[in-house]
Structure 1
Amino acid sequence: MNGKEKIGKIREFVEEKLSFLHSNRNESAVRAELARLRRGIGKKPGELPELWELLLDNFPTELESNGAERSKAEWAIYTALTLFALHQQGKDIQREYMFESTNWEKKQYHGLGSAVGELAKIQHDRNDAIKRRFYVAVTAADLQGLSWHLRGIIQQLRGNDIPLDYSVLATELYWYQYPNKIPDIRLRWGQDFYRAIEAKERQEE
């Protein structure tokens, strides 16, 4: 399976899992599942048996690890889903769904850079602090460092009701594990960040 096919599988899997949670009308079951996902933050994929069903059921075999080491796809998906649970904390998943799909045709982006750009415009009095935090996060040396910094950013997005496309984030976290791809991901985040700021400014004119 080539890289493009893997990316498609990663996006599809994340979208399916979050759609399942969003469409589930059993509120107590959804809250419990999200709480379990939050307990998985900072852990390794598969480390907590209570998360096996959500994370491993129907997991594409092409993305699975072949040995003791987790695959890059497993890490990316696991990190994205646990961060979503943090983002959704304290919110009604029916009315305040913190996942929003990117519409590529209409150029409506909801990736990490776009979300933080919107945050910087909303919190204009803290614009410099948000930029510094974002810069520190996206210059992390590896996925573990990046995901640690993202927790604080996600909490800020949650506090300002700004959603994020977690299927796109999962693919970016996948590529972030390849050192030669990191510059490309950083460039995309930077482009989306300033595009969101400019779009917000035009709306306010």
Structure 2
Amino acid sequence: MTTVTPAKSMADRITDLVFDTIGPLQHELLRDGPKAVATLARLRRGAGKQPHQVPDLLGLIDTGPLYDKAPDGRMPGEGALTCAEDAVHVVMALWAVHQQSRTTGMHRPHRTDAPGGLGAAIRRLMIERDAGDAVLKRFVRIGTAPDLPTLAQRLREIVVLLRDEDITLDYALLARQLYQWQWPQGPETVRRAWGRSFHAYRAPKGDRSTGADVPGTDTPSDSHTTSKDDS
């Protein structure tokens, strides 16, 4: 008997693609695998640039799953593909910046008992740095970005600060949100999700550096959380 795998939405494909790409790559990178180290360096060179501006990135990430049929049987349109590819590119470059010189994985899947989304990470950064106003201003600037290149640059600035404090992010979730952000009403929905997780975050009792976050959400209303094990 043949099992038919249901077609996935583009948002689901983006989430799975980033998860399935970063997971093994991060695993090999933490073992100092030379191929993974070289890949990270190439991805980092793409930070702040459009995919077509960095020929070296061509073929580095297998985006084939993005071209699968939608649940309604149709092939994805040019607009959806462009938004999807841009979201994946931005997030992979951000992760490469975040992971640079770190001895632990900076990508960590979001869980309800340990939020991995952007809002929770920024709230934790405010606590760790004891610099609430300065970090909060950066958070507001992220939310008011007028376009994806500006958003990517502002995210890069905050990612550098997260790296300094070893604060992780769920990059599969972030990729899904950046895809959604590019559609009508998308920015409002994503900002709301980031804001909810920001306000829901509470510092863990005891050692603040344990990363034992409390329940919260950073997931848009029409998306699922990523809870796969990152090996």
Q: Pick which of 180-189 and 62-71 moved more.
A: 62-71
> What is the deviation of 1:67?
5.8
Point out 4+ residue stretches in structure 1 off by more than 4 angstroms: 63-70
Higher mean Cα deviation, 42-51 or 183-192?
42-51
For 2:90, the equivalent position in structure 1 comes to: 79
Please point out which of 61, 66, 72 is paired with 1:55: 61
Distance 2:134 2:61 in 1: 35
Cα offset for 1:114? Answer: 0.8
Choose from 136, 140, 148 the match for 1:135: 140
**1:70 offset after TM fit, Å?**
6.2
Give the equivalent residue in structure 1 for 2:126.
120
Paired residue total? 193
**How far does residue 30 in structure 1 lie from its aligned partner after superposition?**
1.4
Return 8-17 or 170-179, whichever deviates more: 170-179
Q: Structure 1: which 5+ residue stretches go unaligned?
A: none
Letter in structure 2 aligned against 1:80: V
Matched, 1:150 2:133: no
* Whole-angstrom CA distance in 2 between matches of 1:182 and 1:161: 27
Aligned counterparts of 1:7 and 1:71: Cα–Cα separation in 2: 13
Residue 45 of structure 1: how far off its partner (Å): 2.0
Give 5+ residue unaligned stretches, structure 2: 1-7, 70-74, 207-231
Q: Residue in 2 aligned with 1:101?
A: 109
**One-letter amino acid matched to 1:33:** T
Q: Match for 2:109: what amino acid?
A: S
Name the structure where helix makes up a greater proportion of residues: 1
Corresponding residue of 1:5: 9
Q: Say whether 1:22 aligns with 2:33.
A: no
Match of 2:191 among 186, 190, 194: 186
Q: What CA deviation, in whole Å up to 9, does each residue of 1:94-113 have, x standing for no partner? A: xx10000012xx44321111
- Per-residue CA distance 1:91-141 (angstroms, 9 max, x = gap): 23xxx10000012xx4432111111011011112x1110001110111111
Question: TM-score, normalised on structure 1?
Answer: 0.85
Tell me the amino acid that sits aligned with residue 56 of structure 1: D
For 1:31 and 1:191, locate their aligned partners in 2 and report how far apart those are by CA, in whole Å. 35
